[in-house]
């Protein structure tokens, strides 16, 4: 059987990733909230005409929060699949994963404050 081409393989991988992203946005309440916030701060960026550097920082923060939230969701789903019953060790893993989301969310909020507070005052 002939091997698939590198290009076909990459296209298929992108399709899987897009499907995962859409699934995440459709099914996870926390990512829906984060997506809404991302839309609001993006609109604010256009309104306040933020600099290129501010755009880079803002987009990086949005991507980091949403990406880590996706990893957190995957860890939670995998943990539930491996151990459907309440297990303190699985609970610790889930807490650590959620804590990672909290860390990047706090830093992203600080970035937002640094960008927008001077424009609001």
Question: How many whole angstroms separate alpha carbon 108 and alpha carbon 12?
Answer: 32
Q: Please report where in the chains the tokens 């501010």 appear, as a residue.
A: 54
Q: CA 12: distance to chain centroid? A: 22
In a domain, 1, yes or no: no
Tokens (6 digits) for 83: 């151990």
In this predicted structure, what is the pLDDT of residue 57? 97
The pLDDT value given to residue 8: 87
Let me know if residue 62 belongs to a domain: yes
DSSP structural state of residue 1: -
- Number of domain units in the chain: 1
Predicted pLDDT of residue 31: 93
For the domain that residue 113 is a member of, what is the CATH number?
1.10.287.3610
pLDDT for the residue numbered 7: 86
- State the residue range of the domain holding 97: 6-120
Q: pLDDT tens track of the chain, all 121 residues?
A: 667 788 888 888 999 999 999 999 999 999 999 999 999 999 999 999 999 999 999 999 999 999 999 999 999 999 999 999 999 999 999 999 999 999 999 999 999 999 999 999 9
Query: How far is residue 87's CA from residue 106's CA, in Å, rounded to a whole number?
Result: 28
In a domain, 116, yes or no: yes
Residue 71 lies in a domain: yes
Q: Is residue 66 part of a domain?
A: yes
């Amino acid at each position: 059987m002939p091997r698939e081409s590198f290009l076909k393989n990459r296209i298929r991988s992108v399709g899987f990733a897009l499907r995962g992203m859409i699934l995440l946005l459709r099914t996870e309440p926390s990512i829906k909230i984060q997506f809404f916030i991302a839309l609001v701060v993006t609109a604010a960026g256009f309104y306040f005409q933020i600099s290129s550097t501010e755009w880079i920082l803002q987009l990086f923060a949005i991507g980091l929060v949403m990406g880590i939230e996706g990893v957190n969701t995957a860890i939670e789903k995998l943990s539930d699949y491996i151990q459907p019953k309440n297990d303190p060790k699985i609970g610790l893993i889930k807490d650590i994963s959620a804590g990672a989301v909290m860390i990047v969310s706090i830093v992203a909020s600080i970035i937002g404050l640094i960008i927008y507070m001077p424009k609001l005052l």
